[in-house]
Structure formats: C-alpha cells, structure tokens
C-alpha cells in the first residue's frame, strides 16, 4: 500500500525517547550479549551545530558489528520483534550495507557483518516490523546507544513501499537508512537547534527541515517508484 511519504516517517523511536515516552522501556531486561560495544556518555563541546546533533550517548568503540536476524527471538526483547517480524530482504540488505559504508567513508567507524544466532548478537540489528502496531506509523525507527537492550537497533516498517527495490543513491530510502543509522550512532534531530541558516538537509540528514525556515512537520512530495 502506498501512503503519502511524510519526512517524519523516517523518524525514530529515538525522537519519542527525547520526550521521555519510551526511554528505559527495556531497561529491566537482560543486557544484549554484545560482541564488543557498550554505550558511554558524550559531553557536548559547546559548539552550536555539534551540540545540536548529539543525543548524549555514543559507543565505546568505533568498530561495530551488525546483523540481519533471521528470527525475531534472536533480538532479545519484546515490542518490535513481536509484530509481523520479517528478516530484511536481500536487496534491502545490500542497501543497508551501502548506507553503513557511506557512514564509514566520513567517520572513524567500521561495521562488520556477523550471522546472528541465539548466542551471538550484533551491536546493531536490522529488521522489519509492523511499527504501526506499536504506535509508530513511520517508515523506520532506531534506538540510541544508551537505550538498553535495543540500543543500536534499526527497524523498518514492514508494509511500507519505501522499502521495495530498486534502491539507489539519492532515493529517499537511502536517505532514510542513513538517518536511522545516525540515530543508532547517537545523533538526534537537530531541528531548531542548529544555527538557523544551517537548519536543513544541506547540512544534516538528521534534520526534520529540508531547508532553513521550512515549517515542520511537512509533507515530502515524493512517491517512491
Ligand atoms: Zn529521526
């Protein structure tokens, strides 16, 4: 089903966490058996455009693992894995790898793919879920590093035509993947916090404004092919 593609649908669980509605939801569950990474706090440097992007947590390593779980039970928590879970399809996996490579090309980060099992868990999971069923009618969502067991995980809306191939550089799907991975790395929406003339996509794909001064929220006039 094609629905109007609102920019906000590429937003994340992280956004709601900023308002306190979901942070800590999974805090009482057993920790994910991460291969390497744990979260640590970030001190904002006092530079407006950088402070605007920092949620407040980061990973303690630049070498992260990721996976495409074949089974929901591998994820280790409830919620997203329980609602129409599906593994990420092959062509979309290729797009995710490309989006991670794009982050690596501009940051001191590596992403190593592992095969998820019941006993071996990546730092970042990518999966499909009926996010609407848990109150998030958006194209995707992601968890900040300090959000407990799900921290670092990216979920994509299972029935959204946004995630149908083909994928290509410049497609909104690629933008949305880059955006969600940004949350999983500790970046928040800088909308209204950036230096006003920088408050748009020319400066950050984490932004909710396409260009400075644009009202939010807005409808993005793009229908995926
Ligand atoms: Zn977002």
**Ligand 1: centre distance to CA 60 (Å):** 22
Sequence-ordered list of residues with C-beta below 8 angstroms from that of 78, at least 6 positions apart, any chain: 26
| Total-model pTM | 0.84
Q: Which domains does the chain have, with CATH numbers?
A: 1-23+74-188 (3.40.390.10)
Select the more confidently predicted residue: 15 or 131. 131
Among the ranges given (2-11, 105-114, 171-180, 187-196), the one the predictor scored with the smallest mean pLDDT: 2-11
Calculate helix-pair angle for 90-106, 172-184, nearest 10 degrees.
60
Sequence-ordered list of residues with C-beta below 8 angstroms from that of 31, at least 6 positions apart, any chain: 148, 149
For 69-89, what is each residue's pLDDT tens digit?
A: 999 999 989 999 999 999 999
Does pLDDT of 141 surpass 50? Answer: yes
**Ligand 1: centre distance to CA 14 (Å):** 7
For 34-58, what is each residue's pLDDT tens digit?
A: 567 999 999 999 999 999 999 999 9
- Mean of pLDDT over the chain: 84
Residue 2: pLDDT band (50, 70, 90) is: very low
**Ligand 1: centre distance to CA 22 (Å):** 14
**Ligand 1: centre distance to CA 169 (Å):** 19
**Ligand 1: centre distance to CA 205 (Å):** 9
Nearest CA among 186, 178, 155 for reference residue 37? 186
């Amino acid at each position: 089903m094609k629905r109007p593609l609102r920019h906000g649908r590429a937003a994340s669980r992280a956004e709601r966490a900023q308002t306190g509605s979901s942070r800590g939801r999974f805090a009482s569950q057993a920790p994910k058996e991460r291969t390497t990474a744990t979260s640590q706090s970030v001190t904002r440097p006092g530079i407006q455009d950088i402070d605007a992007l920092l949620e407040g947590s980061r990973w303690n390593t630049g070498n992260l693992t990721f996976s495409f779980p074949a089974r929901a039970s591998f994820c280790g928590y409830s919620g997203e894995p329980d609602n129409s879970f599906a593994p990420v399809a092959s062509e979309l996996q290729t797009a995710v790898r490309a989006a991670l490579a794009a982050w690596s090309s501009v940051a001191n980060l590596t992403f190593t793919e592992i095969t998820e099992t019941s006993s071996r868990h990546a730092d970042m999971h990518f999966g499909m879920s009926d996010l609407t069923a848990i109150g998030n009618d958006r194209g995707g969502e992601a968890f900040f590093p300090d959000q407990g067991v799900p921290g670092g995980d990216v979920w994509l809306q299972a029935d959204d035509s946004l995630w149908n191939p083909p994928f290509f550089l410049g497609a909104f799907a690629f933008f949305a993947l880059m955006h969600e991975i940004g949350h999983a790395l500790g970046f928040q929406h800088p909308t209204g916090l950036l230096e006003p003339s920088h408050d748009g996509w020319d400066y950050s794909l984490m932004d909710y404004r396409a260009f400075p001064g644009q009202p939010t929220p807005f409808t993005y006039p793009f229908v995926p092919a």
